[in-house]
Structures are given as C-alpha cells and as structure tokens.
Amino acid sequence: MSFILRSPALSKLPRTLNSSIKTPFRQLNSTSLPPIQNRPKRNMSSKTSKPAAVDTSLQGSPTGAAASFASSHSSDHPLKLYGGWFCPFVQRVWITLAEKNIPHQYIEINPYHKAPEFLALNPRGLVPTLAVPTVTDPKTGKVKEVKPLYESLVLCEYLDEAYADPNQYGERLLPQEDAYERARCRLWIDHISSRIVPSFYRFIQHTPDKAYTIEEIRAEFHGHLKAFAKEMLSCLSYPGPFFLGNKFSLVDIMLAPWAKRLFLIDHYKPGGVGIPSTKEQRGEDEEVWKRWEEWYNAVVQRESVKKTWSDDEQYVGAYKRYAEDTTQSEVGKATRSGRSLP
C-alpha cells in the first residue's frame, strides 16, 4: 500500500523538505525511522566529545503494559501515531485511542532526533504526531490520502470527532447535548494545560539556585490542583470519581499522564509532592483534598491509563534530566527560561 501525503501547510516548507513529503507515505513509517537503539550515537559523551546537547540517550521503546499495547498495534495501518513512550502529551493521545478502541499503528520514535521525515510531518518536531486517513475510495474502501496532524489536545479532539459512532467507539469524550457543559470542560482543560502542567515542570525542574523556593512552587502546584478539585466538588449533580462523575472524559485524559508522573516529584524533590494526607494537615481543605484523592485513585486505575504505562523505573531514568534541570527538551528549556510551553 502506498499513501500520498498532501497538506497545504506542508506545501509551504522549503522545496528540499517538500520533495520528501511527496514520497510514498510508507517511507515515513518505522522502517525509515529505525529504532533508537540502532541509530548512530551522535552527541553521546565520550572522553573527547562534549556531553549530549539533546536528550538522545533515552531508553528506546516502551516496557511493561505499554510494550504489549504498542506491539498489538504494530501492524501497518493508515492511522499512525508517532509517539515516545516517556511523553505525557503522547499518553493523552494513546489513552484516547485505547478508550475508543480505535484501530491504529503505533510507531515509537525519539523526537529529540529531528529526522527530516519527522519534521516533514510536524514542523514543530514534537511528538505526538498523527498521520490520519483523509480520502478513502468509496468503491474499494482503500485509503487514498493521509495527512499529518499534531498537538495533543487537537489530536484527542480530532479522534473523538472522526471516530464518533457510539456503537463502534463508545461514548463521546465531551458532553454532546449541552453546549455549556462542553465549554466548562474546555475551561478546565485550559486550566490543566495552562496552569497545572507548566507548574508540574517548574516543580520537577526546581533546583536550589532558582529564584523561587521549593515551598513556593509546591504551594503554587497545590493551588492549581485544589482549584480543579473544588470545581469537581461544586458539581454535586455528577456522582462518581471523574470530572464528569462516572463518565471518563477528555478532561480526565488531559491530566491523567501528569497524575501518573507525580511519583517522580516524590522520588526526586525534597518533601515530594506533599499533598496533605491527614485531617490535621488538610484542615479546612479536607473535602477538597478528599475529592482530589478520589479523582486520582480512579484515574490511575483506569484501564486505558494502565495500558499506556511503561515500568515505573523507566520514567525515573527518563526524568532525571528534568529533576537536575539539565534537559534540553523544548518543554524543559521553555520552563527554565520562563517561556510558555511549546
């Protein structure tokens, strides 16, 4: 099967890159992006070379449950997720695919290697990147055209809309019947992406030389979690642990990957995440922290979250550079310099 990749955005790229885009799409799959461990080790430290400028030394593939999920989606398929096992933004999309049981192909790549084929798909050079079938021959049912998409929230919303049949893909991830409720969900997705997530990185990248103390960033982080939990508490019409009660929604998906990574702050930072656990510590926030705990316990137990998770110790290794604040990832550099996340 060969797919032609067409994208108006990509046609604006320089001619040299553009020419590679018109190549049969299968050239951009895992065969042309070899597994990371088999690639030449550029930028790796040795006696004569400088330390790695980019985060290229990552474990090359998922382990544990995520390895099984990835391998059960390794056959060629027109819908392809280019991901990195360690990446929480990828996990958002992976959880969406798992929740809706959408047939797809998972292709592990290391986004820190900016291969031209990868940049042709996503000029931002970030995972997750999706290749989506856009034209299908009505007679044969064969896919005739695929196009790239990127940005985790855009991808999750796209998947929910493009695979919308509830009989095949289950309940929609945002309330369909109530525009206000849908907007409220988007408001709290924005709270997650513009407050909780950046605060998570400021926390894990804290070092003693920062202009802010660990106590200050912990309090800031707690404040953002509490705002989220208070919102859930105020919606008593939704019984059940998730943002929309018993219904697991896009709001939960947006935050679940960072909830799973909280143990890294416990592992690396003095005093850890520090969420108060006793009645005395919680004081007047008792109900708020209980609601957070209820949400957290339900989300980490969710099948789609477990399926897309590698072994804990892999993350401990992968996030060491964040904890030491030496990562050269775009997210890490943005956090260090006070810019908004890519």
Ligand X SMILES: N[C@@H](CCC(=O)N[C@@H](CS)C(=O)NCC(=O)O)C(=O)O
Burial class, 181, CB count within 10 angstroms (exposed 0-12 / middle 13-18 / buried 19+): middle
- Using CB under 6 A as the binding rule, whether residue 286 contacts ligand X is answered as no
- CA 303 – CA 305 distance, rounded (Å): 5
Name the segment binding ligand X (CB under 6 A); options: 20-28, 59-67, 289-297, 327-335.
327-335
- Using CB under 6 A as the binding rule, whether residue 189 contacts ligand X is answered as no
- Using CB under 6 A as the binding rule, whether residue 109 contacts ligand X is answered as no
**Residue closer to ligand X, measured from CB, 254 or 288:** 254
**What are the b/e assignments for 85-95, b being 16+ CB within 10 Å?**
bbbbbbbbbbb
Helix spans in 192-261 (H)? 197-204, 214-234, 250-260
- Find the Cα–Cα–Cα–Cα dihedral 290, 294, 300, 305, rounded to 10°: -130
**Total residues interacting with ligand X, rule: CB under 6 A:** 15
**Residue closer to ligand X, measured from CB, 61 or 329:** 329
Which position has the token pair 């009645």?
Answer: 279
**Residue closer to ligand X, measured from CB, 152 or 310:** 152
Residues 111-150 that bind ligand X (CB under 6 A): 111-112, 125-128
**Residue closer to ligand X, measured from CB, 92 or 302:** 92
Strand, helix or coil for residue 136: strand
Q: What is the nearest approach in angstroms of ligand X to the Cβ of residue 81?
A: 12
How is the beta sheet containing 143-150 ordered, strand by strand? 4-5, 143-150, 129-136, 80-83, 105-108
- CA 243 – CA 226 distance, rounded (Å): 13
| Tokens of residue 299, six digits | 């989300």
Name the segment binding ligand X (CB under 6 A); options: 8-16, 233-241, 249-257, 329-337.
329-337
**Residue closer to ligand X, measured from CB, 119 or 298:** 119
Q: Could you tell me which residues come within 8 angstroms of residue 125 by beta carbon, excluding any fewer than 6 positions away?
A: 111, 114, 118, 119, 330
Q: What is the nearest approach in angstroms of ligand X to the Cβ of residue 126?
A: 3
Residues 84-103 that bind ligand X (CB under 6 A): 84, 87, 89
Q: What is the nearest approach in angstroms of ligand X to the Cβ of residue 4?
A: 25
Active site includes 235? no
Binding mask 145-184 for ligand X (x = CB under 6 A): ------xx--------------------------------
**Residue closer to ligand X, measured from CB, 78 or 111:** 111
Q: What is the nearest approach in angstroms of ligand X to the Cβ of residue 89?
A: 4
Which position has the token pair 């004569």?
Answer: 48
Q: What are phi and psi of 191, to 5 degrees?
A: -60, -40
- Using CB under 6 A as the binding rule, whether residue 262 contacts ligand X is answered as no
Q: What is the nearest approach in angstroms of ligand X to the Cβ of residue 90?
A: 7
Which position has the token pair 């796209």?
Answer: 158
- Using CB under 6 A as the binding rule, whether residue 57 contacts ligand X is answered as no
- Find the Cα–Cα–Cα–Cα dihedral 247, 248, 251, 254, rounded to 10°: 180
Q: What is the nearest approach in angstroms of ligand X to the Cβ of residue 111?
A: 3
Catalytic residue of the set 87, 156, 185, 235: 87
Which positions are catalytic?
87
Q: Which residues of this chain interact with ligand X, rule CB under 6 A?
A: 84, 87, 89, 111-112, 125-128, 151-152, 329-331, 342
